[in-house]
Amino acid sequence: MRCCAGPGPRGGGALTTLLLTVYTILSKVHSDRNVYPSAGVLFVHVLEREYFKGEFPPYPKPGEISNDPITFNTNLMGYPDRPGWLRYIQRTPYSDGVLYGSPTVENVGKPTVIEITAYNRRTFETARHNLIINIMSAEDFPLPYQAEFFIRNMNVEEMLASEVLGDFLGAVKNVWQPERLNAINITSALDRGGRVPLPINDMKEGVYVMVGADVPFSSCLREVENPQNQLRCSQEMEPSITCDKKFRTQFHIDWCKISLVDNTKQVSTFQEVIRGEGILPDGGEYKPPSDTLKSRDYYSDFLITLAVPSAVALVLFLILAYIMCCRREGVIQLVHHSAIQKSTKELRDMSKNREIAWPLSTLPVFHPVTGEIVPPLHPDNYDNTSMPLMQTQQ
Ligand SMILES: *[C@@H]1O[C@H](CO)[C@@H](O)[C@H](O)[C@H]1NC(C)=O
């Protein structure tokens, strides 16, 4: 086997090269990406079509514009769907896909791996990427004052664009003046029972944006709570909010739908619960309630389940019986029938008592000239020549 030692390393080299190529392709297909969002702060990740276009063979040459429709599928690795906090939207195969959501504190620490599969809808090529979401804890800067705005003239994916969201947060900062302000969550109005608008006047679905800040709500944000504005809201009129003009150029806020949540009070009660010893006071032996169950009164149950249906059935039975016995057409027919029978019998009796002889025409057969009664014809003396030969005519 000495002979074969020579080519060995060369074959191994080719194999290594092949494996390296395969690995390069695989790592291109399975390229991972790490992101580090904070819990309780809005996370937005755009799946850019431009980036994924370069993944599909035939690879577009530089300067070449390919405009293939591309859609994405996103799921938690090993599961069919995304984690509950992460949502995904792509309006058309010609627009970018967006992953967004508000990571929850429970997921802090362990990385969340999202598999992203891009489909080229023209060539049916696919490309796979992993997005590794490492959720960071955000306890060091709590934002206990949370306000949720409803923006009427935006769709969720328009609002997710960083510059639009930045403009909105800038406007909120302007009217609230907090030290720190963060977007917490974004929800399409469609997820809250909203409707898809008619395709007229460029109407939008609307979007809810929740922001959190570290200082109490400004007087302007509270303006909607005054009685005048509450009245206008109940009459479906626009409330007059002085700081609305800070938003108006770009965002149409529905001030009646603003919700202001102050979590500082909830946090204090939460801490009180924690300060307990964790042991329940000894309440002695457990005594089950003894005969409270026995004294339960079934009388009304009985009435409802048995007596009422029986009463209804009885009433129906009586109505039916009345119809069958007293209102039946058959009864009249029976009366007719017995009356006819009675008359016939009377006639018969009367005819039996008659003295005169039977009219000849009522007798079976008689001779027209002599008047002699001829006995009924028998097949023997039947004159068959005068009769049509029915039987021979077949
Ligand atoms: C964000 O909004 C979604 C949809 O309304 C909701 O299910 C989720 O609980 C919200 N997350 C937070 C942290 O408020």
Domain-embedded: residue 300 = no
- Say which residue, 26 or 60, is predicted with more confidence: 60
Domain-embedded: residue 78 = yes
> 158, 142 in Cβ contact below 8 A?
no
Single out the residue in 207, 242, 262 at which a domain terminates.
Answer: 262
* Residue 318 Cα to ligand 1 middle (Å): 63
Question: In the predicted model, is pLDDT for residue 11 greater than 50?
Answer: no
Residues with CB under 6 A from ligand 1: 102, 185, 187, 191
* Residue 193 Cα to ligand 1 middle (Å): 14
CA 216 from chain centre, in angstroms, equals 39
Identify the pLDDT of residue 354: 65
Identify the pLDDT of residue 30: 55
Closest residue CA from atom 1 of ligand 1: 185
How many domains are there within the chain?
2
Single out the residue in 197, 231, 262 at which a domain terminates.
Answer: 262
Confidence of residue 9 (pLDDT cuts 50, 70, 90): very low
- pLDDT tens per residue across span 18-53: 555 555 555 555 578 899 998 889 999 999 988 888
Query: Do residues 35 and 55 both lie within one domain?
Result: yes
* Residue 102 Cα to ligand 1 middle (Å): 7
pTM over 0.85: no
- Cα Rg of the chain, angstroms: 49
Closest residue CA from atom 4 of ligand 1: 187
Question: In the predicted model, is pLDDT for residue 65 greater than 80?
Answer: no
Distance CA 11, CA 4 (A): 11
Mean pLDDT, residues 6-29 taken together: 52
Identify the pLDDT of residue 394: 42
Q: Which amino acid, one-letter code, is at 271?
A: Q
CATH number at residue 63: 2.60.40
What is the residue-averaged pLDDT of the chain?
Answer: 81
Question: In the predicted model, is pLDDT for residue 386 greater than 80?
Answer: no
Q: Which atom of ligand 1 is nearest to the CA of 104?
A: 13
Domain-embedded: residue 227 = yes
> 176, 221 in Cβ contact below 8 A?
yes
Across-strand partners of 20? none
Query: Do residues 129 and 159 both lie within one domain?
Result: no
* Residue 355 Cα to ligand 1 middle (Å): 115
> 86, 131 in Cβ contact below 8 A?
no
* Of 42, 105, 187, best ligand 1 pocket probe by most atoms within 8 Å of the beta carbon: 187
Domain-embedded: residue 257 = yes
Question: In the predicted model, is pLDDT for residue 318 greater than 90?
Answer: yes
* Residue 107 Cα to ligand 1 middle (Å): 14
CATH number at residue 166: 3.30.70
Q: How many CB atoms within 10 Å of residue 212?
A: 23
Closest residue CA from atom 3 of ligand 1: 187
Question: In the predicted model, is pLDDT for residue 10 greater than 50?
Answer: no
* Residue 186 Cα to ligand 1 middle (Å): 8
Q: Which amino acid, one-letter code, is at 80?
A: P
Query: Do residues 128 and 151 both lie within one domain?
Result: no
Q: Which atom of ligand 1 is nearest to the CA of 101?
A: 1
Q: Which atom of ligand 1 is nearest to the CA of 85?
A: 8
- Say which residue, 295 or 103, is predicted with more confidence: 103
Identify the pLDDT of residue 151: 94
Identify the pLDDT of residue 5: 41
Query: Do residues 120 and 184 both lie within one domain?
Result: no
Question: In the predicted model, is pLDDT for residue 325 greater than 70?
Answer: yes
Across-strand partners of 117? 73, 128
* Residue 101 Cα to ligand 1 middle (Å): 7
Distance CA 307, CA 192 (A): 47
Domain that holds residue 36: 30-133
Single out the residue in 133, 153, 183 at which a domain terminates.
Answer: 133
At residue 35, what are phi and psi to the nearest 5 degrees? -130, 155
- Say which residue, 333 or 238, is predicted with more confidence: 238
Of 68, 81, 135, 75, the C-alpha closest to 105 is 135
Query: Do residues 109 and 202 both lie within one domain?
Result: no
